[in-house]
Amino acid sequence: MKHLLFFSLLFFVQLSLFAQNESAPLKINHLTGNFYVYTTYSEYEGQKVPAHGLYLVTDSGVVMIDTPWDSTQSQPLLDSIQLRHHKNVVLCIVTHWHADKTNGLAYFRKKGIPTYASKLTDEWCVKEKKNRAEFVFGKDTTFTVDGIQLETYFPGAGHTKDNIVVWFPQSRILYGGCLIKGVEAKDLGFLGDGDKSTYLSSLKNVRKKFRRPKFIVVSHQDWKSKKSLQHSIQMAKKL
């Protein structure tokens, strides 16, 4: 009877923790090695929508791609990273000007975290009155932290006119951001700030440049499938 009571209690505790995790405003999932996917949420057209970002833990600190969509999650994310890895964020790169990528830039700058955006993204941030990065790079750039490389690449307009992707060559991880959609996506989403005429060629440029990725991280759908790029190409053919 005691054993039954114990396991029943354990079940309800686990169920409660699962429910809390499902409704948590911030989630962190291990991807591979020292790479992690973090997720924050915001309301879009009356629905709670997730936005995924990526971070890499190095000896010198944490490299982050994009910022939380919900700006109130900037400090909880930094706290979670510090608690989990005992590291500070030392570099943040954003992949386009929309708020789900740039909302945390002002807070990160206030905390002394170096933030970077492409020149094109910075121009759009100015035009659309979004938070701006502290530093700007004018062309595709390779960053190196503790011997680990990451390459920024502008393949052409698609989701937005400034969208870039980020490639980690040693781990063969492609961060596609909002340009690449998950395999469950029915369409390419909102294109009012993008370019339908070049979306397909931009995706093909990514496929040609970064062959055989082991992981493809997308922004708003399931990031666990490597078929997301090909799925996005098929949807772009219908534009």
Residue 54 lies in a domain: yes
DSSP secondary structure string, 34-89? TEEEEEEEEEETTEEEEEEEEEEEETTEEEEES--SSGGGHHHHHHHHHHHHS--E
Whether the predicted pLDDT of 17 surpasses 60: no
**CATH number for the domain harbouring residue 201:** 3.60.15.10
Q: Output the furthest CA–CA distance in the chain (Å, rounded).
A: 69
Domain holding 120, by residue range, is: 26-236
pLDDT per residue over 140-187, tens digit each? 999 999 999 999 999 999 999 999 999 999 999 999 999 999 999 999
Question: Which of the four pLDDT bands, split at 50, 70 and 90, describes residue 4?
Answer: very low
How far is Cα 96 from Cα 117, in angstroms, rounded to an integer?
Answer: 8
Residue 11 lies in a domain: no
Task: Kindly state the percentage of the chain with pLDDT values over 90.
Answer: 83
Question: Which of the four pLDDT bands, split at 50, 70 and 90, describes residue 18?
Answer: very low
- Look over the chain and give the mean of its residue pLDDT values, rounded to a whole number: 90
Residue 12 lies in a domain: no
Which tokens go with 66? Answer: 């994009």
The answer to whether 39 and 52 have CB atoms below 8 angstroms apart is yes
Residue 18 lies in a domain: no
Whether the predicted pLDDT of 97 surpasses 60: yes
Which tokens go with 141? Answer: 């750039």
| Alpha carbon distances (Å) from 14 to 6, 19, 29, 163 | 12, 9, 18, 40
pLDDT per residue over 104-147, tens digit each? 999 999 999 999 999 999 999 999 999 999 999 999 999 999 99
Whether the predicted pLDDT of 5 surpasses 70: no
Residue 6 lies in a domain: no
Work out how many domains the chain is built from and give that number. 1
Residue 231 lies in a domain: yes
Residue 177 lies in a domain: yes
**pTM here?**
0.89
Whether the predicted pLDDT of 8 surpasses 50: no
